[in-house]
């Protein structure tokens, strides 16, 4: 059991949760994730850790309550307990040696991009953050990102913050103005990461992306999180979640991520009854 130390909403349906998990906090690094179950019958939810405090023994997650399981997780009161938090899982992002970097976050992906930027900024790298959101109402972590960057560019799809555009627009502008990036880190919706990678390929800039395919066990056994990287099958849970953006087959990833949209919608609108729980039922 893991105590929920603090819970706060950052925006519409976006909740930040600080969890008491000292063993995980002692080992986890930027880019790694945990798998959470709200209760003993809950779905396993993979969530990248957005921050951690080794001294306090806490890890912080940010999730959007879009489905039945994330809504169940978000409903746990502050001070109460989460059944399971397993981690750290995946590989820590390879950030050593980076001197000049553009960290690109799209929407909720900023929660994952933030620890990357924080580590690099505290290590002495020059960090430009470019973050994109649907509108001003969806902007999260603005102050936190500003504190760990040399420059922060916030863009919105509708221009409601006075700066309309896509993250690729912001990145291209920085490059054309003379920014000499040795690395770009892009984290967000697959379609966003695809077009960031296409842009950086034009300029020959190393690009790291964080993959979010369907995941079940988080140990490489189920194969649900497989994706194609450089023509080879990889598993996001053990080989990633970070990969070379110029080698990822994004079109395949996008297709696979959309496979269960109908089932997700049904689960979100009704209570699922497991036949295995029926007393006297045939198993």
The pLDDT, as a whole number, for residue 221 is 80
The pLDDT, as a whole number, for residue 204 is 96
d(CA 238, CA 253): 17
The pLDDT, as a whole number, for residue 217 is 75
* CA dihedral sign of residues 220, 222, 4, 112: positive
The pLDDT, as a whole number, for residue 264 is 58
User: Is the confidence at residue 106, as pLDDT, over 90?
Assistant: yes
d(CA 121, CA 188): 20
- pLDDT tens per residue, range 52-67: 999 999 999 998 888 8
pLDDT category at 39 given cuts 50, 70, 90 is: confident
Helices 190-203 and 250-257: crossing angle in degrees, nearest 10, is 180
Q: Which residues pair with 250 in a beta bridge?
A: none
Percentage with pLDDT > 70 across the chain: 91
Mean pLDDT of 69-81: 89
- pLDDT tens per residue, range 213-250: 777 777 778 887 888 999 999 988 888 899 999 999 99
d(CA 60, CA 71): 17
Instruction: Give all domains of the chain, ordered by start, each with its CATH number.
Output: 2-89 (2.40.30.10), 100-257 (3.40.50.80)
Residue, of 43 and 188, whose pLDDT is higher: 188
Lowest-confidence pick of 40-44, 179-183, 233-237, 263-267: 263-267
User: Is the confidence at residue 180, as pLDDT, over 60?
Assistant: yes
Residue with token string 């938090």? 85
The pLDDT, as a whole number, for residue 148 is 96
d(CA 69, CA 173): 40
User: Is the confidence at residue 280, as pLDDT, over 50?
Assistant: no
pLDDT category at 276 given cuts 50, 70, 90 is: very low
User: Is the confidence at residue 283, as pLDDT, over 50?
Assistant: no
Lowest-confidence pick of 40-54, 92-106, 196-210: 40-54
């Amino acid at each position: 059991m893991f105590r929920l130390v603090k819970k706060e909403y950052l925006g519409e349906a976006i909740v930040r949760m600080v969890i008491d998990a000292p063993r995980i906090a002692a080992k986890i690094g930027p880019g790694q994730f945990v798998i959470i179950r709200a209760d003993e019958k809950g779905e396993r939810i993979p969530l990248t850790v957005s921050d951690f405090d080794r001294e306090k023994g806490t890890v912080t997650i940010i999730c959007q309550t879009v489905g039945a399981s994330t809504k169940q997780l978000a409903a746990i009161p502050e001070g109460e307990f989460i059944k399971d938090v397993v981690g750290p899982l995946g590989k820590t992002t390879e950030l050593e040696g980076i001197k000049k970097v553009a960290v690109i976050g799209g929407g909720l992906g900023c929660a994952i991009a933030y620890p990357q930027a924080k580590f690099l900024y505290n290590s002495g790298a020059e960090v430009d953050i470019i973050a994109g959101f649907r509108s001003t109402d969806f902007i999260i972590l603005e102050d936190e990102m500003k504190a760990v960057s040399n420059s922060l560019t916030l863009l919105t799809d509708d221009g409601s913050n006075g700066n309309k555009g896509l993250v690729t627009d912001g990145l291209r502008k920085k490059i054309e103005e003379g920014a000499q990036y040795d690395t770009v880190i892009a984290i967000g919706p697959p379609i966003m990461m695809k077009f960031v990678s296409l842009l950086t390929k034009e300029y020959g800039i190393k690009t790291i992306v964080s993959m979010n395919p369907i995941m079940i066990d988080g140990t490489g056994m189920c194969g649900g999180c497989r994706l194609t990287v450089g023509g080879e099958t990889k598993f996001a849970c053990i080989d990633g979640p970070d990969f070379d953006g110029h080698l990822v087959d994004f079109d395949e990833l996008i297709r696979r991520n959309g496979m269960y949209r109908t089932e997700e919608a049904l689960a979100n609108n009704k209570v699922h009854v497991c036949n295995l729980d029926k007393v006297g039922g045939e198993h």
